[in-house]
Amino acid sequence: MTSTNLSRPICILGLGLIGGSLMRDLAAREVHVYGYNRSVDAARAAHDAGFDVSIDLTATLQRAESDGAMIVMATPMPAIPVLLDAIIEHAPSCGITDVVSVKAAVYSLVKERDLQDRYVGGHPMAGTAESGWEASRTGMFTRAAWVITYDHAPGASLRWVALWTDVVRMILAVGADAIPARVDRHDAAVARISHLVHVFAETLAIVGDNGGALAQSLAAGSFRDSTRVAGTHPSLVQAMCETNAAAVVPVLDEALELLHDARASLVQDNPDISALAEAGYSAHVRFDARHGARGESVSPVKITSRPLLRLSPGTPGWVGQLEQAEALGGRIEIF
Amino acid sequence: MTSTNLSRPICILGLGLIGGSLMRDLAAREVHVYGYNRSVDAARAAHDAGFDVSIDLTATLQRAESDGAMIVMATPMPAIPVLLDAIIEHAPSCGITDVVSVKAAVYSLVKERDLQDRYVGGHPMAGTAESGWEASRTGMFTRAAWVITYDHAPGASLRWVALWTDVVRMILAVGADAIPARVDRHDAAVARISHLVHVFAETLAIVGDNGGALAQSLAAGSFRDSTRVAGTHPSLVQAMCETNAAAVVPVLDEALELLHDARASLVQDNPDISALAEAGYSAHVRFDARHGARGESVSPVKITSRPLLRLSPGTPGWVGQLEQAEALGGRIEIF
């Protein structure tokens, strides 16, 4: 029906930074997309910008049910239980995905409602410290990692495989890299490279602020960059870290052990933090090597350095291929 | 003698990122500037670029002595004792400043040699993760904070006041903001907003790397920004943190207390890190408000938001004015 090969319309619930940007990109690719937003102001702004938007959740879900749309829950975590219950009532046969940054908590709500055969988890690693429809824009997902979960894949129904395939198509349609990862592995990974980063940024911001005017006056680019995400609204940081607490705590413990070792090395008669400095530098070199081909390119065209695996969903061995891609942090395409 | 009102030539020892950029800026302002570099390759590159450069330390110091130059020690900390001893031998009447990022350790070497009346400490808060002459460039200090110490000011000689005044003129000549701070207050401030940032960046880089390919693939802008300074050469991180260990440890303890509180809040039955998230957000808002007028301006002309105090060095009350500027993180001009 469109140039993206999506087999169904897309119905987005929540038109904030992620949901709004997704709607803009899909519409730009001529995908049949419509959405719901609770806030009247944002819905009006989206409508005035030419998008197909409603503030009536029930009517939107009934429409999704009638045209067999895929529903994207693009709200923060706290709204998910209410949305799932509304979907069960008004769109009982639609496939569902989401964009919540923590996947075990969402999957737990899905399993409580026995919706596993209708649900594929998603998480686009994109965004800014801003939020809301007014912050949404086209192109935000270009070459961003967009995790797609596959815990339900072994022995899944044809219906689920078709849904999973359409989620991949949607991800690729907006220019993102589709990265398969099981719920627990996703949550452990983002605890390391996102949630801990937030905890550290808050801490640095507070300690720097404690230094008063002189310290703040001397703060330069390294302090600014390292505390940038402390500008994220506290409720969003809480939603991420608290919902993923089970994965954040062991990662925070790893960090605390390194920091206590550093402290012990600094209180010696001859301070020596070579162990931390050298391990950190080596880790950074590996990160840069891995990411060298993306983001920092001098070319205006963003490219990706993630390994690519092409697979055919539902065929024998495809779960093994997904596990292989997951282990490599690789992206997938379908054929 | 020049448009900058500097009363003497400038002799720079060490033409790396800082020393080289200082030479470029001073020469561009038609200041009489020359320098020494130990590495033949860098000295040749500087010479080929049209600068007055020698690889003979003794001859360079003898020249400084003969024309009454101000000597800028622009090497890392480990070279400072050797340079001070060479200055005592070959340039026994020259005034001295430096650019080392830790000030108590340098001042201790100065006091051991009874050079307080010939020394004014300096620290430009500028640079990149790169180093060496090849990384040097003009304009690097524009609107950067450049700390100038004044511990020796109470009851200082006219000679010292004249030296101090010329250090300010040099700082202003390269477009930096001259921020007065005593040695201990400087070291405490940079421990917060620079050295701790390095320790955190190394730690985040290691914990992220421990997550393997999947975590690294999912790492986005926040991880990249927060670990950027882990790309600094380990020896430079060691030089900063180890030399300033006495100031870094209490600041690290502040951070550890916040992180342990965060951990305790995350292992509760109902995780709640609102205290950290809200305090960090508030600190970030204050930082942004303070820095709002600089760095992020849409104008290509960098401006400063630091309060300005104009003073006349050596006149009654000037030490009190310096303390006032220090407390505000303010910049000074002289008249």
Residue A142 shares a structural domain with residue A193 = no
Residues of B in contact with A231 (CB under 8 A): 281, 284-285, 288
Assigned domain for A135 exists: yes
Contact between chains at A193 and B219 (C-beta distance less than 8 A): yes
User: What is the rounded distance in angstroms from the CA atom of residue A130 to the CA atom of residue A231?
Assistant: 9
Residues of A in contact with B297 (CB under 8 A): none
Contact between chains at B214 and A185 (C-beta distance less than 8 A): yes
Q: Taking residues A230-245, report their average pLDDT.
A: 93
Assigned domain for A5 exists: no
Range of the domain at B192: 186-272
Question: Chain-centre distance of CA A18, in angstroms?
Answer: 9
Assigned domain for A3 exists: no
Q: How far is CA A86 from CA A34, A53, A77, A89, A167, in A?
A: 17, 18, 15, 5, 21
Could you identify the residue written with the tokens 């359409």?
A166
Please name every residue paired with B180 in a beta bridge, in sequence order, or none if there are none: B148
Residue B174 shares a structural domain with residue B98 = yes
Would you call B234 an interface residue with chain A, using a CB distance cutoff of 8 Å?
yes
Would you call B255 an interface residue with chain A, using a CB distance cutoff of 8 Å?
yes
B214, B249, B266: best mutation site toward chain A, by most A Cβ within 10 Å?
A: B214
Contact between chains at B202 and A228 (C-beta distance less than 8 A): no
Which portions of chain B are predicted below pLDDT 70? 1-3, 128-129, 292-303
Least confident interval from A65-74, A98-107, A242-251, B120-129: B120-129
Q: Taking residues A103-120, report their average pLDDT.
A: 97
Q: What is the pLDDT of residues A191-235, one digit of tens each?
A: 999 999 999 999 999 999 999 999 999 998 899 999 999 999 999
**pLDDT for the residue numbered A290:** 82
Could you identify the residue written with the tokens 């040699």?
B113
Would you call A108 an interface residue with chain B, using a CB distance cutoff of 8 Å?
no
Looking from the CA of A286 toward its CB, the CA atoms found within 13 Å total 20
Angle at Cα B137 formed by Cα B136 and Cα B139, nearest 5°?
Answer: 135
Phi-psi region for residue B192, left (φ > 0), alpha (ψ -120 to 50) or beta? Answer: alpha
Which of the 8 DSSP states describes residue B65? H
| Per-chain mean pLDDT for chain A | 93
Residue A225 shares a structural domain with residue A156 = no
Residue B125 shares a structural domain with residue B219 = no
Q: What is the pLDDT of residues A63-83, one digit of tens each?
A: 999 999 999 999 989 999 999
* CATH number, residue A217: 1.10.3660.10
Q: Taking residues A299-326, report their average pLDDT.
A: 87
Residue B70 shares a structural domain with residue B136 = yes
Would you call B280 an interface residue with chain A, using a CB distance cutoff of 8 Å?
yes
**Which residue of B188, B219, B225 is in closest CB contact with A226?**
B225
Neighbours of B319 (CB within 10 A): 17
Task: Among B255, B272, B289, give the residue marking a domain's end.
Answer: B272
Rg, chain B, Cα only = 21
Please name every residue paired with B6 in a beta bridge, in sequence order, or none if there are none: none
**pLDDT for the residue numbered A130:** 74
Nearest to A37 by CA among A83, A105, A90: A83
**pLDDT for the residue numbered B299:** 47
Nearest to A258 by CA among B212, B240, B203: B203
Residue A91 shares a structural domain with residue A115 = yes
pLDDT over 90 percentage in chain A: 87
Smallest Cα distance from A232 to chain B, Å: 7
User: What is the rounded distance in angstroms from the CA atom of residue B13 to the CA atom of residue A136?
Assistant: 52
Size of interface A-B (CB pairs under 8 A): 365
Please name every residue paired with B146 in a beta bridge, in sequence order, or none if there are none: B124, B178
Residue of A nearest to B257 (CA): A203
ipTM, 2 dp: 0.92
Q: How many domains does chain B have?
A: 2
Neighbours of B197 (CB within 10 A): 28
Residues of B in contact with A256 (CB under 8 A): 256, 259-260, 263
Assigned domain for B256 exists: yes
Q: What is the pLDDT of residues A47-62, one digit of tens each?
A: 999 999 999 999 999 9
User: What is the rounded distance in angstroms from the CA atom of residue A61 to the CA atom of residue A71?
Assistant: 8
Could you identify the residue written with the tokens 């006032």?
B324
Residues of A in contact with B192 (CB under 8 A): 207-208, 210-211, 215
Give the tokens for residue A263.
């402290």
A14 has pLDDT over 80: yes
Residue A94 shares a structural domain with residue A207 = no
- Cα dihedral value A100, A256, B210, A270, nearest 10: 150
Assigned domain for A292 exists: no
Residue B116 shares a structural domain with residue B232 = no
User: What is the rounded distance in angstroms from the CA atom of residue B76 to the CA atom of residue B116?
Assistant: 20
Taking each helix axis as running N to C, give the angle between helix A183-190 and helix A245-266, from 0 to 180 degrees, rounded to the nearest 10: 30
Taking each helix axis as running N to C, give the angle between helix A40-48 and helix A17-28, from 0 to 180 degrees, rounded to the nearest 10: 20
Smallest Cα distance from A270 to chain B, Å: 8
Q: Are B240 and B194 in contact (CB under 8 A)?
A: yes
Assigned domain for B80 exists: yes
Would you call A326 an interface residue with chain B, using a CB distance cutoff of 8 Å?
yes
A121 φ, ψ (degrees, to nearest 5): -75, 145
Rg, chain A, Cα only = 21
pLDDT over 70 percentage in chain A: 95
Could you identify the residue written with the tokens 């000549």?
B173
Would you call B258 an interface residue with chain A, using a CB distance cutoff of 8 Å?
yes
Residue A89 shares a structural domain with residue A212 = no
Contact between chains at A276 and B326 (C-beta distance less than 8 A): no
